[in-house]
Each structure stands twice: as structure tokens, then as C-alpha cells.
Amino acid sequence: MIKAIKGTRDILPPAGARWAAVENEVRDVFRVYHYGEIRTPIFEVSELFSRSVGEETDIVSKEMYTFLDRDGESITLRPENTASVMRAYLEHRLDQNAGISRLYYIGPMFRRERPQRGRYRQFHQIGAEVIGSERPEVDAEVVVMVSDLLRRVEVKDFEILLNSVGCKECRPVFLAALKSSLEPVQANLCSDCQRRATTNPLRVLDCKVPADQEIISTLPSILDHLCSACRGHFDRVQLLLNDQQLPYSVTPRLVRGLDYYTRTTFEFTHGELGAQNSILGGGRYDGLAAQLGSKMPAPGIGFSIGQDRLMLALEKEAASAVSSLDVFIAPMGAEAARLAFSLAHGLRARGVCVEVGPDAKLKRSLELAHKLVARYTLIIGDEETRSGQFLLKEMTTGEQVSVTRELLFSRFTTTTDHGI
């Protein structure tokens, strides 16, 4: 039997409905912050990611799905979407639109990493980018929007980690100090960090190997090396978050995993996710457009949520969510089944979620309604067909009432909020 490829999975009912509900809530948050949806191709020329994400990152060196197409061009399934959004921004000259560009996306990404809880080789991201402004107010607004978004989908008890990784003026000074501090301890680090210490020392700070953490804690802090412009920018971001009474922790080792980040970086973590507890991350990337060969300034900031991990954080709430099935219709007999078909159509036209069961005995129909976690069961037998009076049973309480077609339709005029 053919099975799904390792690191991929099928999202089956009722989980698919929960995913859609989360996406609907997220879209509404983006709407009130005046973001528009962008949909980029799921594959791009490989150079886009090697130039933006960085040759020495694990993503480019180990994890990308890259292949040659029939014309011999190197193509890569997108491992992340910020580079694609920036490519689209530059290609279509979105800088000529009024104001700054606020863009969001929802879709699959691809990385060949070791599958584990909440991490897959085809994974899903919800993300957003704001391009066209260097103002710290934009950074703070993005962090506030993300916290609003998580609360909207009922993620509780998250923590916000905040840092600045400097700019092209002050980061080289810090990198020199970092490299000097790494030289005497390089041999004691994991094999990846031994390589990074030479090729890209900033990546050492992003290491998740437990044995390396004691060494990493002794390394210089980027916050001690910020230039006056970066220090002022970071102080302003913190001031604006404090004004909103949004709690956060300044975390000097937070550098994120991609080379294009400058100044503000942030992560949101959640205790339900275990050791790998990051639910989303993001940061500013003022030099990304230049890395892609553009002479047009396009400062930006963005974030991406791992939707697979988001759904894990929501697992407890989802397990207790109310069923999405409003009415299960239980017909008994051919004429009852015909009437059930008509009643179901009328209810669905009013936005009610309905399933019509097979022509079966009442006991079997009620057992099926219980398994489907229906809110109500509408019972239609020969007597109900003749009289036009149907028995409506509330499944949680067992209460039964007699209703006519008109009373049934008036009772269910719109769908109820099924939650997430």
C-alpha cells in the first residue's frame, strides 16, 4: 500500500475544520491591521534562497528541496516565504503603491529536516511582512499584532522574547569580538558550531544543542555593541511595547536562524511545545532587497507562525471544542428519506451544518449521531411524515420537542459560532 512520504501528513476531519477556523480568525486580525493577502509560487529559482537566507545556514546547506528542471535551471521548493514576498515586492514595484506594503500569506513550506512533534518536511506557515519603513513604531505594531492574533485564536500563556542584532555598522564589531571569544572554546562545541565559528559565528548563538549552552552563555552580548542608531531604535521599540503593557523578555542570544535579519528580532514561545517551544519568530531585514541585487531601498520586518505547532498549542482547546455538526437527520423509510432530503436543503440554505443519515432503525441512527457529536437529531418516521410534526432531540440533555417545518427553520436561522 502506498503511504504518505516521510515528514508529510494528511490533515483529516475534524482537524481540517479547526485549521480553517484558525485561518479565518487570523485573516480577520490581518484585515483590521490593513494587511492584504499575497500568494507566491511554492517553488522559486534556488539563487533566491541562497542569496537571502544565507549559504551557511542549515536551511540552505542541509534542508532545501532543490532539483534541476528540464531546462537545467536549479529550482527550490520554498523553505520560507519572506524572500519570495520580497522578490514579488521588487518585481512588481509595490513601492509605487500608496503607503507601505502590508502583506500576509498562509501556505505550505518545505524543508528536509528530521521529523518530530510539530515539525514536518512539508509544514505550514502563517506569516506577514511590512515593507517600506524603518520606523521602530512598525516593529512594535507587528509584535502587538502577533500577540493580538494569538489571543484571538485562544493561545494562552505565551512568552515574548525580544532582541536587537544590530546593523551593518555595528554588527562587524560584535562579530569580531564573538569570533575572538570562540577561538579558545571552538573545539568543545558541537560539530556544526565548530564549522559555524569559522564561517558564520553569529549562528553559534542560535545553537539548540544542550551541551553547548554553558559555553554560549559566556560569549559576548550583541547589546553591548549596538551603535547609537540601533540602540535608539531598540529603546523606542521597548518604550512602545511598555506603553501597551505588553510583557516581554530581552534575550541577547536571540539571533534567529536566517542571515537577512537586522535590528529587531523576536520569538513567541509556548510551554505546551516542550523543549523546542518556539511557536513563531520574526525580525527586521532592512538589507534584504540589496542582497537580492536591488538598488531600491526596501526596509522591512515580518514574522512567520508554524501553523502545525500553533495547532499543537491549541490541542487542549480543540479537544473540548463543540461539534461543528448542528443537526443529524435520522429518516426511517423511503418517504422519510425523501422528506429528509428536502429539510436538509432548507436548513443548509440558512447556514446550518446538516448531515442526513441512512435509512435505518432509530437506535442505530442515534448511535451514529452520538459518534458524530451532533448537537441535535431530527427524527423522521412514517408518523412524522404524515403529520408534518418532527421530533427534535438535543443530544447533550436528551430533551425532545415536536417541531413543524416552519418552527425548525425559524429555530436554526444562522450557524452558531463553533469556535476553534
* d(C-alpha 175, C-alpha 179), whole Å: 6
**Distance, CA of 201 to CA of 173 (rounded, Å):** 12
Return d(Cα 265, Cα 163) in angstroms, integer: 5
Q: In 3D, which of 247, 41, 36 has the Cα closest to residue 162?
A: 247
CA atoms of 267 and 269, how far apart (whole Å): 6
Please tell me the predicted confidence (pLDDT) of residue 323.
60
Which of these, 393, 401, 405, lies nearest to 357 by C-alpha position? 393
CA 109 and chain centroid, separation: 11
- Answer for the pair 205, 253: CB distance below 8 angstroms, yes or no: yes
Report the distance separating Cα 144 and Cα 230, nearest Å.
20
* Whole-angstrom distance, CA of residue 53 vs CA of residue 64: 11
Structural domains in the chain, CATH included, are 15-170+226-318 (3.30.930.10), 327-411 (3.40.50.800)
Low-confidence stretches of the chain (pLDDT < 50) are 317, 319-322, 415-420
Neighbours of 373 (CB within 10 A): 15
Q: Mind giving me the DSSP string for 272-288?
A: GG-SS-EEEEEEE-TTH
The arrangement of strands across the sheet holding 74-77 comes to 43-45, 74-77, 66-68
Contacting residues for 363 by C-beta, under 8 A, at least 6 apart: none
Q: Are 257 and 205 in contact (CB under 8 A)?
A: no
Q: What pTM was computed for the model?
A: 0.83
